[in-house]
Amino acid sequence: MTVQTPRRSPSLDRDAVTAPKRTAHAVPPAPPKVKKKKDPLWAKLTVVLGALLMMGSGAGIVGSKLVISSATSGIEQDDLTGGGKKTKAEGGRNLDGPIDLLLMGVDARKRWAVDEIHADTIIILHIPASHDQAYLVSIPRDTEVDVPAFAKSRYAGGKAKATEAFFHGAQNGGGWAGGAQLMSQTLKNATGISFDGAAIIDFNGFKGVIDSLDGVKMCVDQRVKSHHMVMVDGKPMYLAEARKTGKSQTPIYHEKGCREMEGWEALDFARQRYGLTHGDYDRQRHQQQLIKAMAKKASSSGILTNPTKITPLIKAAGKAFVLDTGGVPVADFLFTLKGVAANDLVLLRSNNGTFAGNGSGREAITEKSRAMYRAVKQDKLADFIISNPDVVAKEK
C-alpha cells in the first residue's frame, strides 16, 4: 500500500459550497436540543462517515453542503472528548490542519445497561494536514493506563485497562458521554494525542449500513468459530436468543478465503478474538479491514455519486454512531475530507501486533508505539512509517 508524504491541502471547491464563510477559530452557537420521538438517544451519525463513507468520491460528490446539511440535519451531538479535546493552541476547531478523531467501538446489544459497557475497540483516526490520506491506529484494549479522577461518574482515579476507562466514566449517571470523555482524557495522558472529535461506534449498528451496501468483501485469513452466534433453522442468531428458542443449534465457522459477506456475517467475523493466533490484535485488524471494506464498497458502487442513494445510506449509518465534531458543522467535515480515497486508508498496529505483557496480565506500550503516537501528535506519521514499515498491518 502506498504511503504518501504530506503535502499542502488542496482547496475546497468553493463553487459547490454555498455555506457562508467562517473564521478558523469561530465557535458556532450550540443548537437547541430537539427531542426525537422514539429515536434511540445514541443512534446518530458520526464525523467518521465523512472519512469512511465519503472516501473515493473526490470531486464526484453530488450536490453541495446544502445537500449534506439536509441529510444530516437531525443529528444530535454530544461532548465525547471532554478534557481530551484539542485546544485552540493545538489547532482545535481548525479544519486546515491535521485532524485526529477518537473512535470507540462498543457492543450496543447492552444498550439498556449503559453503565456496564466497555470500549472493546479503540482506534485513533489520523488525517494529516494534507487531507489526502487517513490512518487507523489501534490502541490495545488491555493496555495498562492511568485513568484520572472523573467527577461526573464519581471515579477516584487509578490504574486500569484502557477498555475499562470507558466503563469507569459511564458509572453513576455518566452514561456513554461520560465514558467517552474519560477515555479521551486517559488516552491524551497516555499518548500525548488530543482530539478534534470523537465517535462511539456500535459495530452491531453497522449491519444496516453493510446491508444497504449489499454486503462487503472480506478476507478471512484463519478459520475461526463464532463465539457469539449460531444457526437456528438456517438463520443466524445470537447465542442468548438461540437458547430461548429451545431448538437445535449449528455452530458458525468463518472459513478462510475472500468473499462478499452480508452484514451479520461481516460483523460477526470482525468481533471474534478467541481462537485467533494473535487474539485481540487480530480482531483489531479485522475491524480495521471492515471499516475500509465499507469505505471501498461505498465509493465503488455509485452510491456516492447518486443523490437519491446517498441520503438513505447516511441515515442508515446514523443508527451506528454517536458524534462529537468539536463544534464544527458536520457538512464542513465531510467536504474537508472529500479528497481522501478508500485506498488511502492505512491500517496501523501498536506493539507490532503482539501482546506486550507488563507482568501483571496487562499490556505495556512499547517504545516504538510511543514513537508512533508522537508522530501522530506532530503530524509526521508518513515519515515514521517509511522508517518503520512493519507498523503497517497486513490486510489479508
- Greater confidence (93 vs 246) lies with 246
Q: Which of 5-14, 183-192, 353-362 is predicted least confidently? A: 5-14
Residue 84 burial (CB < 10 Å; 0-12/13-18/19+)?
Answer: buried
Question: pLDDT tens for residues 106-163?
Answer: 876 544 455 567 777 888 989 999 888 889 898 988 899 999 999 999 999 999 999 9
The CA-based diameter of the chain, rounded to the nearest angstrom, is 62
Q: Which of 138-147, 175-184, 214-223, 327-336 is predicted least confidently? A: 327-336
Q: With 80 as the cut, is the pLDDT of residue 83 above it? A: yes
| Contact by Cβ (8 Å): 339, 58 | yes
Length of the chain measured in residues:
396
What mean pLDDT do residues 351-373 have?
82
| Contact by Cβ (8 Å): 337, 96 | no
Scanning the structure block, which residue is given the C-alpha cell 444530535? 76
Alpha helices in 56-154 (DSSP H): 65-71
Would you state the cell numbers that stand for residue 268, as one nine-digit string?
A: 460477526
Q: For the chain, what is the mean pLDDT?
A: 76
Question: Residue 66: pLDDT band by 50, 70, 90 thresholds?
Answer: low
Question: pLDDT tens for residues 194-253?
Answer: 999 898 877 666 787 788 888 999 999 999 999 999 999 999 999 988 999 999 999 999
Question: Residue 26: pLDDT band by 50, 70, 90 thresholds?
Answer: very low
Q: pTM of the entire structure?
A: 0.74
Measure the CA–CA gap between 216 and 206, rounded to whole angstroms. Answer: 11
Domains of the chain and CATH, by start: 40-211+295-391 (3.30.420.590)
What residues contact residue 23 under an 8 Å CB cut-off, 6+ apart?
none
Would you state the cell numbers that stand for residue 98, as one nine-digit string?
A: 491535521
What mean pLDDT do residues 17-42 have?
37
CA atoms within a 13 Å half-sphere pointing along the CA-CB vector of 39: 19
Give the angle 318-323-329 at the CA atoms, nearest 5°: 100
Q: With 90 as the cut, is the pLDDT of residue 181 above it? A: yes
Q: With 90 as the cut, is the pLDDT of residue 374 above it? A: yes
Question: Residue 283: pLDDT band by 50, 70, 90 thresholds?
Answer: confident
Measure the CA–CA gap between 17 and 5, rounded to whole angstroms. Answer: 28
Measure the CA–CA gap between 362 and 146, rounded to whole angstroms. Answer: 13
